[in-house]
């Protein structure tokens, strides 16, 4: 990691430590590995932090000591047992925050038994998730790179064709296109043709993709832990009016909603821009999911764009805008862009065309 | 799923319901998705069960209703909101068990607020994990298939060679060998040459694998959700005495420990068989992990073979036997078989050779 990258990561812990005062916490236990990675850069499967104004401790077990030596900066590194609860409990003092949205009831009970007398375990989940909502430049760089790689995979798909290939085969070749570019997938790719496209979370089948239908393709790449997320719906030839109208409806809803994305926009209102258009066309019941979600170290994170979402978008959020219309027994359409929220026009990270593209 | 497969899955819930009486539970809430899959066959990312002697309910959201219709048998299927806690809370009654090893402190608090008056939330984690320790024939079939596919990938690796390829390239071609056989990986493959092999959980690097060293390769396949797990350590040419001795030591420890695996054997004692041999050779401190672990829907599950493990092996357990010796700055050796515990000799699912194989 470069010096500037290191200091970008260290600045996250600085911001977090300042939040401890607001919560009147003497220290914070961080056990959610995604949050541990955010704070330290650690990518192993067992690690935790204990933070206070005075101390920044990172604990891991035997297997990851050497790896942590290379990855974790700005923290005192401590080797712990594989079940680290006891070692962690010993480091807590005073009003000790813990991630109540991650620590299980059982782990909480054990922690409570192991902490020193007078230590109070205080629910403090979501502090780091809150910081993660606004991405720094290091994070944006990784997400832009991931989105660009997924775009290339889509380009390869358009060149290679769809008709006669199985959904599974297409999904696999998309994953391999990512791997060839040294990226992982952020989730298993979705390739769903015809009526199978009416399942929003379809698993690719061994069925051959027919001509003259719609195919929903949902793909994300992962670079340095950061995800991208993009959906396109392709035609495989001539479409009937139902499919054409569904496509144009979703495209219009997507573009209108996208235009409303900016810092200060209310999350439910952005959702409503797309939802109102789809409802007005009589397809409200066919759009059963939210408009979008934050993307970062997790492919689904805060903020959320949906009917029951709360709060406002802020500059530096990275969100998807992905309305869909799913017609059971017929076809599905979803169009999804990934965007960086700014105080003006959003920065759209997805460069694939949105007009209907025929891939036969 | 065939009729016999369906009834095998349904028998799991029958066994579980009988355990509720022992715990004086009126119902059980199952939210750990691995356990939900074990009971119902459901493979989506949002689903839960509520079980009692009278009722078997399966809840999922909009996105998975159609998929659940195809997968979930023997349960009444209910569509719930995406955040299912409220819908689940309403279904609980009396002494309601919940998975305290999975439910977070926050979710537990919310459940408590939403249940009807008089409902008591009772920690009941581990009940299903206990059942999962002893595999049924359907499970053994999937694990055998996964192990056979990983063996084929190892065969391809031996044919293809190692020297001059990067660790990353070899790892990727192993993963692709699994995919070509319609299996997923049970974890990202480990390929670690030379001194990098001294990290038990090394991530494949872009470094070319040199001649005349050892390379640790750890690979698992996944079939129908069930994992396999196999490690082999290959020579890439002439080895020095340190490497040769480490290899032969680990092989001897592995074979002796394997011979001690059977129903009724104590888990720490099986670990001790290998550990005593490695300690007697002066390498105790270089074997920093446990001897093995259960494998099933998760690649690490109960029972555990280790110094601090408890209990005994039982016929129907599927466990790894994988001693290792890691010499910092020099080489690492690990040899791992996957075996089914029986009341006699274990059924070894790994068919790769264990004598030192040179792959140049």
Task: Quick: pLDDT tens for A59-85.
Answer: 999 888 888 999 998 999 999 988 899
Concatenate the DSSP letters of all residues of B137-157 into one string.
HHHHHHHHHHHHHHHHHHHHH
Test A67 with B289 for CB contact under 8 angstroms. no
* Tens digits of residue pLDDT in B137-181: 999 999 999 999 999 999 999 999 999 999 999 999 999 999 999
Q: Which of B106, B110, B179, B292 has the most A C-beta neighbours within 10 Å, making it the best mutation to test the interface with A?
A: B106
Per-residue pLDDT, averaged over A25-36, amounts to 98
Q: Which residues of B touch A176 (CB under 8 A)?
A: 176
Q: Which of A99, A104, A309 has the most B C-beta neighbours within 10 Å, making it the best mutation to test the interface with B?
A: A104
Report residue B222 as tokens.
């996944």
For residue B134, the SS3 value is coil
Q: Does B2 score more than 90 pLDDT?
A: no
**Closest CA in chain A for residue B324:** A63
CATH class in words for A3-131: alpha beta
d(CA A107, CA B60): 27
Test B105 with A104 for CB contact under 8 angstroms. yes
Test B288 with A63 for CB contact under 8 angstroms. yes
Topology match between the domains B3-131 and B137-348: no
pLDDT at A199 (0 to 100): 84
Per-domain boundaries in chain A: 3-131, 137-348
* Tens digits of residue pLDDT in B134-147: 999 999 999 999 99
Does the global pTM surpass 0.90? yes
Q: Which of A262, A266, A277 is nearest to A342 (CA)?
A: A262
Instruction: Kindly list the residues of chain B whose beta carbon comes within 8 Å of any beta carbon in chain A.
Output: 43-45, 62-64, 66-67, 82, 98, 100-109, 123, 125, 172, 176, 179, 199-201, 203, 288-289, 328
d(CA A185, CA B72): 28
Q: Does A288 score more than 90 pLDDT?
A: no
d(CA A93, CA A52): 10
The CATH number of A137-348 is 3.90.230.10
Contact (CB, 8 A) for B181 and B147? no
Contact (CB, 8 A) for A44 and A60? yes
Q: What's the gap in Å between the CA of A8 and the closest CA on chain B?
A: 24
Contact (CB, 8 A) for B8 and B136? yes
Q: Does B4 score more than 80 pLDDT?
A: no
Residue with tokens 């110094």: B307
Which one has a higher pLDDT value, B278 or A65? B278
In this prediction, what percent of chain B has a pLDDT beyond 70?
99
Residue with tokens 């009589």: A282
**Closest CA in chain A for residue B83:** A308
Per-residue pLDDT, averaged over B257-262, amounts to 98
Per-residue pLDDT, averaged over A240-250, amounts to 97
pLDDT at A82 (0 to 100): 84
**Closest CA in chain B for residue A45:** B201
ipTM, two decimals, is 0.91
Q: Which of A253, A327, A330, A328 is nearest to A292 (CA)?
A: A253
For residue A185, the SS3 value is strand
Q: Does A38 score more than 70 pLDDT?
A: yes
Burial classification of residue B22, based on how many CB atoms lie within 10 Å of its CB (0-12 exposed, 13-18 middle, 19 or more buried): exposed
In this prediction, what percent of chain B has a pLDDT beyond 90?
91
């Amino acid at each position: 990691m470069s010096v500037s990258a290191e200091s970008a990561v260290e600045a996250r812990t600085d911001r977090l430590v300042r939040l401890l005062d607001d919560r009147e916490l003497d220290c914070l236990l961080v056990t959610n590995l995604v949050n541990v990675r955010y704070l330290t850069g650690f990518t192993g499967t067992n690690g935790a932090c204990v933070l206070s104004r005075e101390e920044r401790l990172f604990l891991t077990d035997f297997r990851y000591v050497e790896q942590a030596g290379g990855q974790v900066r700005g923290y005192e590194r401590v080797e712990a047992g594989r079940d680290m609860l006891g070692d962690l409990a010993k480091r807590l003092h005073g009003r000790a925050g813990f991630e109540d949205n991650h620590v299980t009831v059982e782990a909480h009970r054990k922690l409570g038994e192991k902490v020193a007398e007078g230590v109070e375990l205080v629910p403090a989940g979501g502090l780091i998730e809150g910081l993660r909502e606004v991405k720094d430049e290091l994070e944006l760089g990784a997400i832009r790179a991931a989105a660009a790689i997924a775009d290339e995979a889509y380009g390869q798909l358009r060149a290679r064709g769809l008709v006669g290939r199985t959904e599974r085969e297409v999904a696999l070749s998309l994953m391999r296109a990512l791997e060839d570019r040294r990226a992982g997938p952020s989730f298993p790719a979705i390739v769903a043709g015809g009526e199978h496209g009416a399942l929003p979370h379809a698993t690719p089948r061994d069925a051959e993709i027919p001509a003259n239908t719609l195919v929903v393709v949902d793909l994300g790449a992962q670079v340095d832990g950061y995800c991208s997320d993009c959906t396109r719906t392709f035609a495989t030839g001539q479409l009937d009016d139902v499919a054409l109208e569904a496509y144009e409806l979703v495209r219009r809803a997507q573009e209108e909603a996208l235009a409303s994305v900016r810092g200060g926009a209310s999350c439910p209102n952005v959702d409503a821009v797309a939802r109102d258009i789809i409802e007005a066309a009589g397809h409200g019941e066919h759009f059963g999911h939210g408009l979008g979600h934050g993307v970062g170290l997790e492919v689904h994170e805060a903020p959320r764009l949906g009917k029951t979402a709360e709060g406002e978008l802020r500059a530096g959020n990275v969100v998807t805008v992905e309305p869909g219309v799913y017609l059971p027994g017929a076809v599905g359409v979803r169009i999804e862009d990934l965007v960086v929220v700014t105080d003006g026009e959003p920065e759209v990270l997805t460069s694939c065309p949105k007009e209907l593209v025929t891939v036969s």
